[in-house]
Amino acid sequence: MRALLNIFAFLVCGLGLGYCSADYSMQQGLATVSVRNGPWITWPSAGSATADPYTRAHFAAHGHLPLTAFEAVSFRANSDQQGQLLDQDCEYVVEGRAFNARWWSLTAYNTDRTLMENPAERHSFNSRNIVFSGQGEFQISLARDPRPGNWLPLAASGGFQLTLRLYNPDADIKNNLQAVSVPVIKKVACS
Amino acid sequence: MRRLLYWCVATLLLAVVVHLFVVIFVPGVDTGQKLAQMEAAGEVNKLHQIAAKDTHQVLLTEPSPDLRYAFCKFDIRTRPLMIEGSVPPGYWSVSVYGETGSNVYTLNDRQAGVQKLQLMIVTEDEPFDDEARPENTIIVRVPTASGLVLFRALVSDRSQEELVESHLAASKCGLRPVQQAAG
């Protein structure tokens, strides 16, 4: 009986530990293969033929078809500046400056990486259609109800994530992802 | 005590094996499923536009709403694939992915520098006479006989939607005709 219990514990712990550690390293990114910049994370070798297994796994696990860093760099955030998970029951302001890239976009997704359904059919702003408030500075409000300026509607309750894509970025972005002036994500209030 | 140590080491070894198995093999299954969905959505070796609504959510993971997409799931076991891209004004790119979802090749509108771009896709191990290459055609060698070509075109505001979609509709994907292949 004791031997059976040992085998059971061995299988449960071994399988669980192996699966959970793999899932965590694929989803959250190991420090050796991903770069964190504030609440944002990026995978420098995405799309590259020489990408490490964890980067490949991260993108392949969702059937994602990545571009190489030469073509586009993408940052993803699922928490605010304080490290709290983004929540559609709250309101946020995203503040940043224009990037040294041919064009860029900021998009809100559900946690399953689908676009949020909303009556305005607005899911993103890009460098061509966003309203800048100063010398290349911008502010985007994320809230359920309309807000003046750049407003991205939040839909149902639950978490969400933001993806920032910089297309044909300048060398200073590609070479120093940690120093990119990524937007600040501030929580305003929660309902 | 020795027995406990034995079980701990065995558990860790099992965890390492499971960890490596999940990282190396499971994502390939997920990519295969995604490519199979695309194959089911339209004929192989033919270009299909992805509608701005609806199918976005199924065929592409984390689609950019600022882009319009068209894809061609290819199988070049018998003949090379010919791609003709109609390049709209503004950002445009064509990417070739292998069957594991790795990005084999990407070219954007600025690099192409033309309004009509021709690509020929052949497998790496296929003997190919470079002199038989059609004029003004870029040869892309891929590691696997099946994969995916994906066009991305920027729609920075809704007024451009029709123009960009007409360029994607004018693009083509198909196996190289037999007589050309023989020549």
Let me know if residue B36 belongs to a domain.
Answer: no
Let me know if residue B150 belongs to a domain.
Answer: yes
Pairing of strands B116-123, B103-108: unpaired
**B34/A17 Cβ within 8 A:** no
Let me know if residue B68 belongs to a domain.
Answer: yes
Let me know if residue B23 belongs to a domain.
Answer: no
Residues in chain A within 8 Å Cβ distance of B23: 22, 25-26, 53-54, 57
Give pTM, 2 decimals: 0.88
Q: Considering only CA atoms, give the Rg of chain A.
A: 19
And the tokens for B39?
Answer: 């194959």
Question: Which range marks the domain in which residue B142 is found?
Answer: 41-182
Q: Which candidate from B13, B24, B91 shows the least CB-CB separation from A102?
A: B91
**B23/A67 Cβ within 8 A:** no
Q: How much of chain B, in percent, has pLDDT values that exceed 70?
A: 92
Shortest alpha-carbon distance between residue A152 and chain B (Å): 13
H helix or E strand, kind and range, residue A77: strand A72-77
Let me know if residue B6 belongs to a domain.
Answer: no
- In a structure prediction context, what are the per-residue pLDDT tens digits for chain A, which is 191 residues long? 778 888 888 889 989 999 898 888 887 778 888 999 999 999 988 888 788 888 888 888 777 888 988 899 999 999 999 999 999 999 999 999 999 999 999 999 999 888 888 888 899 999 999 999 878 899 999 999 999 999 999 987 899 999 999 999 999 999 999 999 999 999 999 98
Cα angle B7, B19, A43; round to 5: 145
Number of domains in chain B: 1
Number of helices (H), then strands (E), in chain B: 5, 9
d(CA B18, CA A75): 29
Identify whether the C-beta of residue A163 lies closer than 8 Å to the C-beta of residue A17.
Answer: no
**B101/A60 Cβ within 8 A:** yes
pLDDT digits (tens, 9 = 90+) for B113-128: 888 999 999 998 877 7
Let me know if residue B113 belongs to a domain.
Answer: yes
Pairing of strands A137-143, A150-153: parallel
In a mutational test of the A interface, the residue from B54, B64, B68, B108 whose CB has the highest number of chain A CBs within 10 Å is B64
Amino acid symbol at B5: L
Let me know if residue B24 belongs to a domain.
Answer: no
Residues 144-163 of A with CB under 8 A from B: 163
Residues 35-74 of B with CB under 8 A from A: 35, 37, 56-57, 60-66
Provide the strand spans (E) within A6-71. 35-37, 40-42
Let me know if residue B80 belongs to a domain.
Answer: yes
H helix or E strand, kind and range, residue A60: helix A53-60
If DSSP codes are grouped into helix, strand and coil, which group holds residue A14?
A: helix
ipTM: 0.86
- Look up the CATH number of the domain holding residue B176: 2.60.40.1610
d(CA B102, CA A50): 10
